[in-house]
Amino acid sequence: MSQGKLYIVATPIGNLSDITLRALETLRSADFILCEDTRVTKKLLDHFEIKKPTISYHQHSDIRKTLEIKAMLAEGKNLALVTDAGTPGISDPGNMLVHDLVYKQNLQTEIIPIPGPSAIISALSVSGFPTDKFLFLGFPPHKNKRQKFFKEAVSYDFTVAFYESGHRILKCLKELNEYLDPKRQILLGRELTKQFETIYRGTVSEVMEKMKEERGEFVVIISK
């Protein structure tokens, strides 16, 4: 029996129209869909009238879940991995699954990327900052090493990008303001592709003055 294939499928970060034809085709043809949150993925599947069984796979999944997935692939099942929004594996537990299957379980199966939306790339594309070389830092630490994170983020001589959650964004900007050159420009993208998408440009101080809504998911881009 031939091995099944694992598809890493990017899904919309907000606007459902951003899903690709190839992503829809892959989700419809998969035997099972691995989801960060099955409830979130169900809304996507229902919208596109896709009826496929789903399996939960998230940051708290343990080795038993990995072995279950490995066994399904060994049985020839084709699996599609999705995250709640965007590209799996980018600041996302999907990366851990691929690592464990390839490097710990020595799984000899095809792992196929189905590209699509990414909040970080969307923000960079409208930043106007140099993107021939940039550094992506994921999320800042919640507590320990936050100061170190921001000191390093402002020290590079190229564009730097990272994510931050709504309930920490003001704290993040205040911390960033302590270390960033007061004239250096940033872009702050909030709820990208969604109904209330907002993009702020300027120095950290200017962005803090303009920002009227803290809820949602944010991308922070620091100019070179």
| CATH number of the domain where residue 152 is located | 3.30.950.10
In a domain, 1, yes or no: no
Pairing of strands 186-190, 198-202: antiparallel
Do 194 and 127 share a structural domain? yes
The one-character DSSP state at 91 is S
Best CA proximity match to 217, nearest among 151, 147, 150, 167: 167
Contacts 24+ apart (CB under 8 A), 20-25: 20/114, 20/115, 20/116, 22/114, 23/114, 23/116, 24/48, 24/50
pLDDT of residue 95: 81
Contacts of 104 (CB under 8 A, 6+ apart): 66
Q: Is the pLDDT of residue 160 over 80?
A: yes
Do 108 and 205 share a structural domain? no
Evaluate whether 63 touches 70 at the Cβ level (below 8 Å).
no
In a domain, 11, yes or no: yes
Best CA proximity match to 120, nearest among 23, 64, 187: 187
- Enclosing domain of residue 13: 6-114
Of 114, 147, 162, which marks where a domain is finished?
114
Best CA proximity match to 121, nearest among 71, 75, 86, 171: 86
pLDDT of residue 61: 85
Do 206 and 186 share a structural domain? yes
Do 209 and 133 share a structural domain? yes
In a domain, 155, yes or no: yes
Do 165 and 135 share a structural domain? yes
Structure token digits, residue 148: 């170190």
Q: What are the tens digits of pLDDT across the range 165-215?
A: 999 999 999 999 999 999 999 999 999 999 999 999 999 999 999 988 888
